[in-house]
Structure 1
Amino acid sequence: MNTREVIVEDVDSQGDSQQSQDSVLTVIQEERHEVLYFAYGSNLSTAQMRARCPLSTAIGLGFLPRWRWIINSRGYANILPPSSPPSSSSSSSTTTDDDGVYGLLYLLPPRDEESLDRFEGVPHAYEKLRCEVRWVRDGDGKLLAGEEGGGEPVKALVYVDERRTDDGMPAKEYVGRMERGIEDAVRNWGLDEGYANRVMRKWWTKV
């Protein structure tokens, strides 16, 4: 699978958001050394990501339209692809929050990508895909409209378990890590807590 790589110079999530956005978008189409990574599970926690991938940089909130978030039979987060192609009348502007998956976008250098592969258990637990993600909020949590509304379209690396797609019960240790990730994403990156409750936290009652 071809991977489109990106690189920026020292994007600070607390710095000037428009400058950060312009810097990233300028280089997304170039063949460089960093990739965009879409985190939808416990890697919503930037503290966990710093421990796993010290050189990674969070740049904002992303949205993967029409995918579905689950806890799978392994007890960990997974996302399922759309069951059918979108109709000609559908568009990102009419997609509701529950018709897709929110996650955090990171810039990931090659060394950190290799480290993340090990943490994610590639290729036995997860496989690596490239998906079009909507970059919907910048590093300051501000909405990005994009040319067609609904955020800027970007290609991002996504870890997906294509073999274990049945619903399961979350591992007890995983619930705590997910809660830390949700808290971080809600407080610092503009994730809607109502979405987190409806889509993610509903699985905790199965513990």
Structure 2
Amino acid sequence: MILYAAYGSNLDPARMRGTCPRSPLMGTGWLEGWRLTFAGGDLGWESAVTTVVESPVERVFTALYELDSFDQGVLDELEGYTAGLYRRLQTHATTTEGIQPVWVYVFDGFEGGLPSQWYLDELVRSAEAGGAPTEYIDSLRKRPTSDYGF
């Protein structure tokens, strides 16, 4: 079984059902020792995109999906793994059942850039739909954004 730890817009269960219908939501948890950040700001996109980086005292809320092999191929394409923009990394998530081995997509480049206001609003909406705690959602809302949002 492959457990995929979704952060960012894939926290939204409805979005994941549409993208990966064979991969059930198994619960939520935390990527302990990781920090949600943005990258790709130097690539000329409208917005930097989410990624995680190791950070000993921080944590990232995550939704855990049992990823079907077909759905993994779809997600690899959508998340930029196939294009070489992201890599898959194995780590652990802390859940109410204990520590679970998971893998995440991590941007394969340097951290940097700001999200557009539109993109940040999408992350907040996804976190709300995914059941993230209020404090986590509030911390997302306080993030700075770029000048060129949608």
For the superposition of Structure 1 and Structure 2, which TM-score range results when normalised by the shorter chain? 0.7 to 0.9
AA matched with 2:36 = W
3-state SS of paired residue (1:54):
coil
TM score, norm. by length of structure 1? 0.62
Give the ranges of 4+ consecutive aligned residues of structure 1 lying more than 3 Å apart after TM superposition: 204-207
Deviation at 1:201, TM superposition (A): 2.2
Task: Output one character per residue of 1:12-57: Cα deviation in whole Å (capped at 9) or x when no partner.
Answer: xxxxxxxxxxxxxxxxxxxxxxx10000110001111111111111
> Pairwise mapping of residues 62-141 of structure 1 onto structure 2 (< 5 A)?
62-74=29-41, 75-82=48-55, 99-123=58-82, 124-135=84-95
Percent same amino acid at aligned positions?
A: 31
How far apart are the structure 1 equivalents of 2:127 and 2:61?
A: 11
TM score, norm. by length of structure 2? 0.83
Task: Output one character per residue of 1:70-121: Cα deviation in whole Å (capped at 9) or x when no partner.
Answer: 1223411111113xxx6xxxxxxxx6xxx21111111111000010000001
Considering only CA atoms, is the larger Rg found in Structure 1 or Structure 2? Answer: 1
AA matched with 1:111 = F
Unaligned runs of 5+ in 2: 42-47
* RMSD of Structure 2 on Structure 1 (CA): 1.9
Unaligned runs of 5+ in 1: 1-5, 7-34, 87-94, 136-143, 147-151
How many residue pairs get matched?
140
Deviation at 1:157, TM superposition (A): 1.4
Point out the structure with the larger strand share: 2
AA matched with 1:164 = F
Pick one of 99, 103, 108 that aligns with 1:162: 108
Deviation at 1:172, TM superposition (A): 4.7
Deviation at 1:206, TM superposition (A): 4.2
1:49 maps onto 2:16 in alignment: yes
How far apart are the structure 1 equivalents of 2:107 and 2:145?
A: 23
AA matched with 1:113 = Q
